[in-house]
Amino acid sequence: MLSSIFTKTLYEKRWGLLWWSVAMAAFTVMIVLAFPIFQDAFGEQMDAIPESLRSIVGEANDYQRVEGYLELQVFMQMVFLTFIYGIILFTGLLAGEENDGTLQSLLAQPISRTKVYLQKLAAGATLLGILSIVMLLSTWAGLAIIDEGTSAIRLLGATFAQWLVGMVFALLAYMIGAVSGRKGIAGALAGVYAFLGYIVTSLAATVTVLEYPNYLSPFRYFNNTKMLDQGLQAGNIAVLLLACLVFSIVGWLVFRNRDIQQ
């Protein structure tokens, strides 16, 4: 496991991933198991909820179908855990190691900064991917327990979209960390952006002034077309991929020539 930066990063993050996976799996299974209760309880009384809140909690009809329930209660909730894990993970990979001095020891070895940057990025993406797969498997397991089912392909697609949204925020944190070398700033800015994005996208349907800012929120490109009902939209995925690419390239361009203080 200590033969490359990629495998060493996976090795050193194994315990963190394990605990996050256990928490993610437990939450996911519990939420899926609660579907029959929500199905019975969330009926016509949902019509009494104000329009502005319905954009956040969903329509009554959504709670009657497993796809609608999974979109609202699993993916829209679990995406929180995904991006929080992603931001914590990616701020630690470069900026965190620079802050505690271990990056300097690594960069004293005869390896290029590009290699360091890309292998750590790849390891982070892999770890976030494993966490997303854990959530996918937990969802399947929960559905099997309550004897429900949905399209495996669409569930896989939704999991991919969730991983991609998590990667957008994670790579934003990675880029800020690579540019500034400061873990706190990287985590704080990416976290604030994620929180504001979530609020803006949730309210954009009812607050007209948020219509244009919503285009800057990665969440707009996540579940705006109901992934489990209609599948992924190529345009949405392209925007999220483009954001990942831009953040990765900007971070790399600055990091490879930046001063690294001891």
Dihedral over Cα of 245, 226, 126, 11: its sign = positive
Q: Among positive and negative, which fits the CA dihedral 183, 16, 23, 55?
A: positive
Q: CB of residue 260 vs other proteins: minimum separation in angstroms?
A: 5
The CA distance from 88 to 86, in Å, is: 6
Closest approach of other proteins to the CB of residue 14, in Å: 10
Of residues 228-257, those binding other proteins (CB under 8 A) = 257
Measured CA to CA, the distance from residue 238 to residue 152 in angstroms comes to 22
Closest approach, Cβ 102 to other proteins, in A, equals: 5
For other proteins, give the closer residue by CB, 2 or 209. 2
Confirm if 12 and 119 have CB atoms less than 8 A apart. Answer: no
Interface with other proteins in residues 15-74 (CB under 8 A): none
CB closer to other proteins out of 121 and 158: 121
Nearer to other proteins, 71 or 97 (CB): 97
The residue among 8 and 65 lying less far from other proteins, judged by its C-beta, is 8
Cβ atoms within 10 A of the Cβ of 220, count? 18
203 touches other proteins (CB under 8 A): no
Report the distance separating Cα 26 and Cα 129, nearest Å.
18
**For other proteins, which is the closer residue by CB, 36 or 184?**
184
Of 100 and 211, the one with the shorter C-beta distance to other proteins is 100
Residue 261 found at the interface with other proteins (CB under 8 A): yes
For residues 176 and 185, give the distance between their C-alpha atoms in angstroms, rounded to a whole number.
Answer: 8
For the bound state, the minimum distance from the C-beta of residue 198 to other proteins, rounded and expressed in Å, comes to 33
Q: d(Cα 87, Cα 74) in Å, to the nearest integer?
A: 20
Residues 83-142 that bind other proteins (CB under 8 A): 100-102, 104-105, 107-112
- The least CB distance from residue 122 to other proteins, in Å, is 16
CB of 261: closest distance to other proteins in angstroms? 7
DSSP 207-253: -GGGTTGGGG-GGGGTSTT-HHHH---HHHHHHHHHHHHHHHHHHHH
At residue 4, what are phi and psi to the nearest 5 degrees?
Answer: -150, 165
How many residues line the site for other proteins (CB under 8 A)? 22
Tokens of 150: 């949905």
Catalog residues that contact other proteins under the rule CB under 8 A.
Answer: 2-5, 8, 12, 100-102, 104-105, 107-112, 257, 259-262
